[in-house]
Every structure is written in C-alpha cells, then in structure tokens.
C-alpha cells in the first residue's frame, strides 16, 4: 500500500458501514471565500513532492460560497492536459455540472503514473491528488461526502489506482474510468489493490473495437493490461457482489450494460461495452478523442452516464 503524507486533517473511511450512515467531516475552510469569473475555468499551481503541479477548476456560474458542492476530478489521457479532457467530455455544460465543481488535474509529462512511459511514480501522483484535495478544501466550498473521479485511458487507469489505495481512495465516493488502461491492477498485481472500504462504486465504459487498450487485455502501450471481464470480476469480488450480474443488450445489440448488486445495493458496479467503439470518450456528438481514434459517435454518452452514476453515491461515515 502506498503511504500518503497527511498535510490536512481529513478523516479516512476504511470500514464497511451502512449506506445510510454518511460522512460529515472534511475541511470546510474554503467555504465563505468568494471568487471572480465563476463559470470560466481558472488555473491553480501547487507544490507536491517538491514539484510544481497544476490543475484547472470550473465553478458553477452561480457559485455560492456558503454552499458545499459535489466535486468531480477528471483525469486526461496520455500526451494531453486537463484542458483537452475538459473540452472533449463537455462536463462543464450546465446540464451536467451546473450545480457541481469540476477539477481538471495536469499530469507530469502529459501522463499519469502506472505506465512504463510515466514521468511520475504512483506515490508522487497519489500525493498530488491528496495535496490537490487539501488545496481545494482550503479555497473552495467542497462537500467531502461527494467527491468523485473519472478519467480517460491512462487517466482512467490512474482513477483505478486511486480506487485501489486505502488512503487517497477513501476520500472519494465513486469512480468511473473510461477506456481505462489498468496497468497497476492487471493479472500480475491485482492483489495489491486494497480499497478503503466495501463496497467501492465503480462504473467502467469501454469499446469492443479498442485496439490501444484491448477489451481482451494483453500488451498495451505502457505495459500489460488485464482483460476488462477479468478486471470487472476482481472488483466484484472485492466489493462482495452477488456472483451473477444483470445484463441488458441495447441499440440492436451494439451496447451491453452489465450491473452488479453488492451487499444488497443494486448497480454498485456497472459496465458499458460498445462493440464498435474504439479508444475514445463515448459520445453521441463527435469529439476530439473520436477524431483522433478514427472513430464515429457512439450510442451512449459517457458524460451523462457517469454524472448520473456519481449522484447515486455519497461517501459513508468512518
């Protein structure tokens, strides 16, 4: 397990608790601080592990400094920055996050930890997430029971790395990788995944025609990746889910939705496979990742599905 330097008093949740018992802690010193240019992404610099790091933050246009907001962190893919993930996904739209805070971290060297081409170690990037959460809570009004993480490709893989860490992962209520490259949770090292609690809500979206992060796993651009069915099965085991999942086949059998019940709670783990989707962010409107992958729009909107999924879950109390 990776240890994280504790730079703020943020209570961690590590035990299985009833879903109705919610977390009420977290630093709220950022509440009451007003900000200019709400509705326009602003950029912040912080120091983490002795390195200059940065992230973008998009506040609702009607941001109320006295109201605690759900907060979603979005991790970009490789050879990219947070801005491109922001533009590609459309999370800033009023329909998705008009009442939420969006955060777009920037990875070192345009990537995140876990791949053989990564510039940061897992320890460094997890520490960056921790330090970023500290900075967010000290400067903005954050609801610590409703913090979420999503990401694309290596960003989605790093979201999984966060979920597998009992310290940093405990700060989040749910996770949603898209086309994730799960280098730190593959067939050889999956037993190192030690989440903060049971269950950990996870939604994963993946293309069946993805040739960069293959659905069946194998050698990827940055190392060995698990098959998506194996990855899902192991998360179902960790979450103590029912052995049998529910499946519905949609859009003339092109999209397959899988859902697990865990501890009597339906849909704690969910997965969407689009058979003809390549390595990109699922969207019915053409986006830059689809153009880069030589792909077409999909039947499903990852941004819609992920936002709705997140709002079903809050972080339980310790």
Residue 171: helix, strand or coil by DSSP?
A: helix
- Tell me, what DSSP letter sits at residue 230? H
Q: What is the DSSP string of 276-288?
A: T--SS---SS--H
3-state DSSP assignment of residue 131: helix
Rounded CA gap, 146 and 138, in Å? 16
pTM of the model: 0.93
- Domain spans, the chain: 40-312
Average pLDDT, the chain: 93
CATH 3.40.50.1820 fits 40-312, yes or no: yes
Q: Where are the alpha helices (DSSP H) in 148-301?
A: 154-163, 228-238, 288-293
pLDDT of residue 206: 98
Q: State pLDDT tens for residues 91-129.
A: 999 999 999 999 999 999 999 999 999 999 999 999 999
d(CA 289, CA 98): 24
Residue-level pLDDT at 20: 57
Among the listed residues 8, 9, 16, 14, the one whose alpha carbon sits nearest the alpha carbon of residue 169: 14
């Amino acid at each position: 397990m990776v240890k994280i330097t504790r730079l703020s008093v943020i209570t961690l949740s590590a035990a299985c608790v009833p879903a109705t018992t919610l977390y009420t802690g977290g630093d709220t010193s950022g509440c009451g601080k007003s900000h200019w240019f709400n509705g326009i992404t602003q950029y912040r610099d912080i120091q983490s592990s002795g390195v200059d790091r940065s992230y973008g933050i998009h506040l609702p246009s009607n941001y109320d400094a006295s109201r605690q907001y759900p907060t979603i962190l979005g991790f970009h893919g490789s050879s990219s920055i947070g801005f491109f993930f922001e533009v590609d996904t459309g999370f800033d739209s009023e329909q998705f996050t008009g009442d939420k805070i969006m955060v777009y971290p920037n990875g070192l060297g345009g990537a995140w930890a876990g791949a053989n081409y990564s510039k940061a170690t897992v320890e460094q990037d997890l520490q960056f997430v921790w330090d970023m959460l500290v900075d967010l809570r000290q400067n903005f009004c954050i609801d610590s029971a409703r913090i979420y993480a999503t990401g694309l490709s290596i960003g989605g893989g790093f979201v999984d790395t966060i979920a597998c860490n009992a310290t940093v992962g405990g700060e989040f209520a749910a996770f949603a990788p898209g086309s994730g490259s799960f280098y730190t949770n593959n067939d050889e090292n999956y037993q190192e995944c030690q989440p903060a609690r049971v269950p950990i809500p996870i939604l994963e979206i993946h293309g069946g025609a993805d040739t960069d992060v293959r659905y069946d796993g194998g050698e990827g651009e940055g190392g060995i990746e698990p098959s998506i069915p194996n990855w899902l099965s192991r998360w179902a085991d960790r979450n103590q889910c029912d052995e049998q999942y529910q499946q519905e086949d949609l859009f003339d059998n092109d999209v397959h939705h899988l859902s697990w019940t865990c501890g009597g709670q339906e849909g704690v783990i969910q997965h969407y496979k689009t058979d003809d989707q390549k390595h990109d962010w699922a969207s019915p409107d053409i986006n830059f990742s689809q153009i880069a992958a030589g792909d077409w729009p999909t039947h499903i909107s990852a941004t819609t599905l992920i936002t709705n999924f997140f709002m079903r879950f809050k972080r339980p109390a310790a």
